[in-house]
Structure 1
Amino acid sequence: MVAGMRALVVLALLALPAGAQSACRQALLLALDVSGSVDEREYRLQLDGLAAALLHPDVVAAFEAMPDAPVRLAVMEWSGPGFQRVLSPWREVADSAGLATVAATLRGTGRVAADYSTAIGSALVRGGAEVQAQRGCWRRVIDVSGDGKSNVGPLPGSVGAELRGVTVNALVIGEAGPTAREGRSPEIGELVAYFRAYVLRGEDAFLETARGFADFEAAMVRKLLRELRVVAVSEAEGRASPTRRGD
């Protein structure tokens, strides 16, 4: 997988015009659900799982694949309409040292009091403002992780101007199994359908699933690898054959 990605990366770089190889290839905001449905154990599984995913060898290789066009990465948590907290501010990540810094920040972050409600639309508004401020990037992407439907604030599907030119992907967290506690999120199939209908946005948008928070790390690894591969493929195709999208 990594070897194939590197080949695509080389093609993308060769297709770039002279003097254009110092750009940011992607502004990537990871937005984590910390609403009332997420307990203390699940909170730690989510943050520590993301930290571990960022240090997975294949993920590190994907981030390092284009040092002349690094990824700008930030991590935010969200719950109700008035709660969006940046855990790791924007930074250019071109090597394992940068990823290690983000991972250490996440592992050292403790939970704070937050609104128990779930406002995906509000998270998208804040996330849109964050990624729109990142200039010079080939793509601007928000990754929303969530285990339930929005129940307050603007409807996710109604968020418009704030997401112009932004791709919204999702990581849907379903029940871990038949012993999951009562009253949690809907069955994963229903939740996947909801996110597909109202949350995903933009070209190449996609969704990954986790069977409970214990599966979050593995799901995030899959998601990051696909995310970074999409950039390489899109840039190689778009720059080498500008008219292809209309075929």
Structure 2
Amino acid sequence: MRWCVSIGAALVAGAMAGGDVAGIAAPNPGNQLGHQLASKGADPSVDVELILAVDVSYSMDMDELALQREGYAQAIVSREFLQALKTGPNGKIAVTYFEWAASGDQKIIIPWRVIDGPETADAVANEIMKTPIRRASRTSISGAINFAMPLFDESPHRGLRRVIDISGDGPNNNGSPVTAARDAALEKGIVINGLPIMVKEPSYSTMDIDHLDFYYEDCVIGGPGSFVVTIKERDKFKEAIRTKLVLEVAGRMPERPIVPVASKEPRVNCMIGEKIWQDRWGR
């Protein structure tokens, strides 16, 4: 089962204010040793191998890109995040952070790092913030997923879970179909969570679509306990990122899901981005 959560909902407000991670979420059914561990032939050394895949396409304005960077950096050093670290059997995670745009445009900002407390969290946050912000053309969620999958094999750490966390403000419009990439990741036991950014009204001059949250739920995310946290207000940007990372690190999912994902046909055409691009530019 996969779920969507609006950051405006009262999902975490009280519990996060009190620092009670367990109070904000129910156990994630994917929080267990997967077949990937057996295939790697190693005991888990971290609770989760987490890939942060961050959209830097031109549809993101500079203010959004800055908020996104600050959001991840501040989330990693937050009290809630550090408390979530303590809930796992190993008390540490492995994380890598890369930015993406077109199908062949991905840039690793943070190679695999272990976060096991305030000092290592500070080091990763500082590394995120010191890298110059960039923008690039096109939006290839499938390219991001395809780039992320082999990073798990390159990781020197072994986790109880493997999670790709994808943020973005538009649908896939470049590269292979997003559902093909998603399904390939799910076959490897990887969970994909989504952070759709919906702070602007859809415009013909951009690749924005209505119901980007539905698109992410039905076409992008997948795996046991996968979920979406939607950003619909600019001033909730950082809170949303923190909420999502806390849930992922703690290996939990929303306690009171808002919208269950459709079990049959997608509510939004999973090729809508490619169609819009073709209709507007003919290529």
TM-score relative to the length of structure 1 = 0.78
Are 1:194 and 2:211 an aligned pair? Answer: no
> 2:278 matched to which residue of 1?
none
- The runs of at least 4 consecutive aligned structure 1 residues that moved more than 6 Å come to none
Percent sequence identity over aligned pairs: 28
Q: Once the 2 structures are TM-superposed, how far is the Cα of residue 231 of structure 1 from its aligned partner?
A: 5.4
Partner Cα distance (2:103, 2:199) in 1:
25
Partner Cα distance (2:152, 2:46) in 1:
12
Q: Identify unmatched segments of 5+ residues in structure 2.
A: 1-14, 26-31, 34-41, 254-283
> 1:224 matched to which residue of 2?
245
> 2:129 matched to which residue of 1?
107
The Cα RMSD (Å) is 2.9
Q: Once the 2 structures are TM-superposed, how far is the Cα of residue 73 of structure 1 from its aligned partner?
A: 0.8
Partner Cα distance (2:154, 2:195) in 1:
23
> 2:110 matched to which residue of 1?
88
Are 1:125 and 2:149 an aligned pair? Answer: no
Amino acid at match of 2:225: D
Pairs aligned (count): 218
Partner Cα distance (1:181, 1:104) in 2:
35
* Match runs of 1:1-247 below 5 Å: 1=15, 2-3=19-20, 5=22, 23-66=45-88, 68-112=90-134, 114=136, 116-134=137-155, 136-159=158-181, 160-163=183-186, 164-176=188-200, 183-184=205-206, 185-187=208-210, 190-230=211-251
2:57–2:135 contact (8 Å) kept in structure 1:
no
Partner Cα distance (2:199, 2:231) in 1:
8
Structure-2 change in CA distance of 1:32 and 1:54 (3 Å): same
Q: Once the 2 structures are TM-superposed, how far is the Cα of residue 67 of structure 1 from its aligned partner?
A: 7.2
Amino acid at match of 1:68: N
TM-score relative to the length of structure 2 = 0.69
Q: Which has the higher helix share?
A: 1
Structure-2 change in CA distance of 1:79 and 1:201 (3 Å): same
2:43–2:158 contact (8 Å) kept in structure 1:
no
Q: Once the 2 structures are TM-superposed, how far is the Cα of residue 55 of structure 1 from its aligned partner?
A: 1.7
Q: Deviations over 1:146-194 (max 9, x none)?
A: 1000101011101243441100000011025x6x87744223xx11111
Corresponding residue SS for 1:228:
helix
Q: Identify unmatched segments of 5+ residues in structure 1.
A: 9-14, 233-247
Corresponding residue SS for 2:139:
coil
1:54–1:99 contact (8 Å) kept in structure 2:
yes
Partner Cα distance (2:178, 2:83) in 1:
33
Q: Once the 2 structures are TM-superposed, how far is the Cα of residue 105 of structure 1 from its aligned partner?
A: 1.1
Partner Cα distance (2:99, 2:235) in 1:
18
Q: Once the 2 structures are TM-superposed, how far is the Cα of residue 3 of structure 1 from its aligned partner?
A: 4.5
Corresponding residue SS for 2:160:
coil
Q: Once the 2 structures are TM-superposed, how far is the Cα of residue 228 of structure 1 from its aligned partner?
A: 2.4
1:53–1:59 contact (8 Å) kept in structure 2:
yes
Partner Cα distance (1:162, 1:156) in 2:
11
Amino acid at match of 1:229: A
Partner Cα distance (2:209, 2:122) in 1:
35
Partner Cα distance (2:158, 2:72) in 1:
26
1:67–1:94 contact (8 Å) kept in structure 2:
no
Corresponding residue SS for 2:231:
strand
Partner Cα distance (1:67, 1:203) in 2:
19
Q: Once the 2 structures are TM-superposed, how far is the Cα of residue 111 of structure 1 from its aligned partner?
A: 2.3
Structure-2 change in CA distance of 1:27 and 1:133 (3 Å): same
Q: Once the 2 structures are TM-superposed, how far is the Cα of residue 131 of structure 1 from its aligned partner?
A: 2.4
2:56–2:134 contact (8 Å) kept in structure 1:
no
Partner Cα distance (2:74, 2:21) in 1:
23
Amino acid at match of 1:195: Y
